[in-house]
Amino acid sequence: MKNEYLINVLETVKKRNPGEPEFIQAVTEVFETLEPVIEKRPDLVAAGVIDRIVEPERQILFRVPWVDDQGKVQVNRGFRIQFNSAIGPYKGGIRLHPSVYSGIIKFLGFEQIFKNSLTSLPMGGAKGGSDFDPKGKSDGEVMRFCQSFMTELYRHVGADCDVPAGDIGTGAREIGYMFGQYKRLQNEFTGVLTGKGLTYGGSLARTQATGYGLCYFTDEMLKANGKSFEGQTVVISGSGNVAIYATEKATQLGGKVVALSDSNGYIYDKDGIDLACVKQLKEVERKRIKEYVATHPNAEYHEGCKGIWTIPCDIALPCATQNEIDGESAAILAKNGCYCVAEGANMPSTPDAINVYFANNMLYGPAKAANAGGVATSGLEMSQNSMRYSWTFEEVDAKLHDIMVNIFKACDSASKEYGMPGNYMAGANIAGFLKVAEAMKAQGCV
Ligand code: NDP
């Protein structure tokens, strides 16, 4: 990065956010691609847009006390970072995972600003979460945690103010408990959360949306480069919400998904993953991915997550967590013939990995564009809630498809306009940034 102004702002960000490397990584990646925009648009610099966009509008940090099944008091930490509301109410998921701290929530909230802008729907950026680990907890414990979490959060959120959703560790069960508590405290049945159950205001196709959207984006990127999913070998990491529905759509589009993982290890099934079995294990029984081999003797299970990237494939879809592909894993993917990486997870590639993709002319679909289908469909859930109406699965899926095609087009044309054709990372950052920046400038110094 050569632009002195951007270098200075980045220095301030580093000073203000010590010990938060994920946030610094996310800001650096965006800044590196904004240099041509800054040079072309001095008016945005004069309006202080860059100085303001890296500082959250509001950060809420709170205690979440709850009682476990043994009657013992447990205490977790809750976060909600309302990053930017220039183009709409704050919107972004809630992550429940022991690794959660302010740096993780801040990087996710920052990414969410640009992602939400790319969807073309009116949503600002936010993220929340807690270091609570739902794994191994009873339903009662999860419910008491979620109720306690919402007992503080309810005063900061609302259908026209801030609408949280799911993320790692927050699925339909957790959203249901949080929604119930919000309704009780506020005495109001509104669309304050998305990812709700279908019986109380949820949208059809929201469960599938991030994984399906990832494949729609990838398909568009492949087509623009003379390729398709047909007959391609696909490796997908994770086995949660995003990974499962990416597997389903990639298979429908003609790909063969041969591997999935969880935080303990990965499975390799050269015959193609039996998704019905994975859904039963993960969605119904909440078991570990290694149980798959008990009913599939031809499949292999390996301890450790990283080895999944040594499996030869054409297309890799990381759908687990941040920084799961480092430079070394990216180099192995490239050496084994992988020519396309599209991100279902948020920031799953380290900066070294991204350098490897570009050095090897691989197609690279960055998270804020490729996984925007989830929040886009959350936006559609908000619209349905406001209208008190619901669209069919086919209607929502068709809208999701259109949105993902348009996101690809926006990334593609911004990459060309700013002299970096084929660099969809730059295209996504620039297209996402410009809309928010114009809105911030128009609204004055707030
Ligand atoms: P889930 O909780 O449903 O699944 C997460 C999966 O990733 C699990 O298989 C989990 O394994 C694995 N995983 C989580 N943390 C780690 C880790 N530290 N190391 C290795 N594996 C890990 O979450 P989602 O599928 O919803 O989210 C996955 C990713 O997609 C996240 O980055 C999320 O931010 C992103 N995303 C999700 C959206 C959504 O709509 N759900 C929208 C946009 C992005 P285990 O069970 O062992 O923990």
Residue 334 lies in a domain: yes
CA 201 to chain centroid, in Å, comes to 22
- The verdict on 221 and 365 lying in the same domain is yes
From the list 169, 126, 151, the residue with the least C-alpha distance to 65 is 151
User: What is the rounded distance in angstroms from the CA atom of residue 344 to the CA atom of residue 341?
Assistant: 10
Residue 296 lies in a domain: yes
Q: Does any ligand 1 atom lie closer than 6 A to the CB of residue 112?
A: no
124 membership: H or E segment, kind and range = strand 124-130
Ligand 1: distance of its center to the CA of 317 in Å? 12
Q: Give the other-Cβ count within 10 Å of 33's Cβ.
A: 22
Ligand 1: distance of its center to the CA of 319 in Å? 6
Residue 404 lies in a domain: no
Domain final residue pick, 370, 389, 408? 370
pLDDT of residue 8: 98
Q: Does any ligand 1 atom lie closer than 6 A to the CB of residue 134?
A: no
Q: Does any ligand 1 atom lie closer than 6 A to the CB of residue 237?
A: no
Residue 29 lies in a domain: yes
pTM of the model: 0.97
CA dihedral of 58, 63, 66, 71, whole degrees rounded to 10: 170
Q: What is the CATH number of the domain that holds 258?
A: 3.40.50.720
Ligand 1: distance of its center to the CA of 272 in Å? 21
Residue 375 lies in a domain: no
- The verdict on 172 and 319 lying in the same domain is no
For residue 300, what are the contacts with CB-CB under 8 A and spacing of at least 6? Answer: 267, 268, 269, 293
Ligand 1: distance of its center to the CA of 10 in Å? 29
Q: Does any ligand 1 atom lie closer than 6 A to the CB of residue 241?
A: yes
- The verdict on 218 and 103 lying in the same domain is no
- The verdict on 228 and 273 lying in the same domain is yes
pLDDT of residue 405: 98
Task: Using most ligand atoms within 8 A of CB, pick from 262, 303, 403 the residue to mutate for ligand 1.
Answer: 262
pLDDT of residue 148: 99
Ligand 1: distance of its center to the CA of 374 in Å? 13
Q: What is the CATH number of the domain that holds 70?
A: 3.40.50.10860
Q: Does any ligand 1 atom lie closer than 6 A to the CB of residue 164?
A: no
Q: Does any ligand 1 atom lie closer than 6 A to the CB of residue 305?
A: yes
Tokens representing residue 205 in the block: 């196709």
Task: Using most ligand atoms within 8 A of CB, pick from 95, 321, 396 the residue to mutate for ligand 1.
Answer: 321
Residue 385 lies in a domain: no
Ligand 1: distance of its center to the CA of 320 in Å? 4
How many domains, the chain?
3
- The verdict on 214 and 147 lying in the same domain is no
- The verdict on 63 and 179 lying in the same domain is yes
- The verdict on 62 and 47 lying in the same domain is no
pLDDT of residue 364: 98
- The verdict on 252 and 323 lying in the same domain is yes
pLDDT tens, the chain, 446 aa long: 999 999 999 999 999 999 999 999 999 999 999 999 999 999 999 999 999 999 999 999 999 999 999 999 999 999 999 999 999 999 999 999 999 999 999 999 999 999 999 999 999 999 999 999 999 999 999 999 999 999 999 999 999 999 999 999 999 999 999 999 999 999 999 999 999 999 999 999 999 999 999 999 999 999 999 999 999 999 999 999 999 999 999 999 999 999 999 999 999 999 999 999 999 999 999 999 999 999 999 999 999 999 999 999 999 999 999 999 999 999 999 999 999 999 999 999 999 999 999 999 999 999 999 999 999 999 999 999 999 999 999 999 999 999 999 999 999 999 999 999 999 999 999 999 999 999 999 999 99
- The verdict on 155 and 81 lying in the same domain is yes
Domain final residue pick, 370, 405, 423? 370
Beta bridge partners of 260: 267
Q: Buried (b) or exposed (e) across 42-74, using 16+ Cβ within 10 A?
A: eebbebebbeebbebbeebebebebeeeeeeeb
Q: Which amino acid is at 219?
A: D
- The verdict on 131 and 212 lying in the same domain is no
- The verdict on 28 and 126 lying in the same domain is no
Q: Does any ligand 1 atom lie closer than 6 A to the CB of residue 371?
A: yes
SS3 content of the chain, % helix, strand, coil (to 5): 50, 15, 30
Residue nearest to atom 23 of ligand 1 (CA): 168
306 is catalytic: no
Residue 397 lies in a domain: no
Tokens representing residue 254 in the block: 């003609």
Domain final residue pick, 348, 370, 392? 370
Report which ligand 1 atom has the smallest distance to the Cα of 171: 3
Residue 442 burial by Cβ neighbours in a 10 Å radius (0-12, 13-18, 19+):
exposed
Ligand 1: distance of its center to the CA of 417 in Å? 34
Report which ligand 1 atom has the smallest distance to the Cα of 97: 15
Residue 307 lies in a domain: yes
Residue nearest to atom 36 of ligand 1 (CA): 345
Q: Which domain covers residue 10, as residue numbers?
A: 4-53
- The verdict on 79 and 178 lying in the same domain is yes
pLDDT of residue 54: 98
Tell me which of 91, 106, 127, 282 is the catalytic residue: 127
pLDDT of residue 276: 98
pLDDT of residue 163: 98
Give the helix ranges, DSSP H, for 286-338: 292-295, 327-335
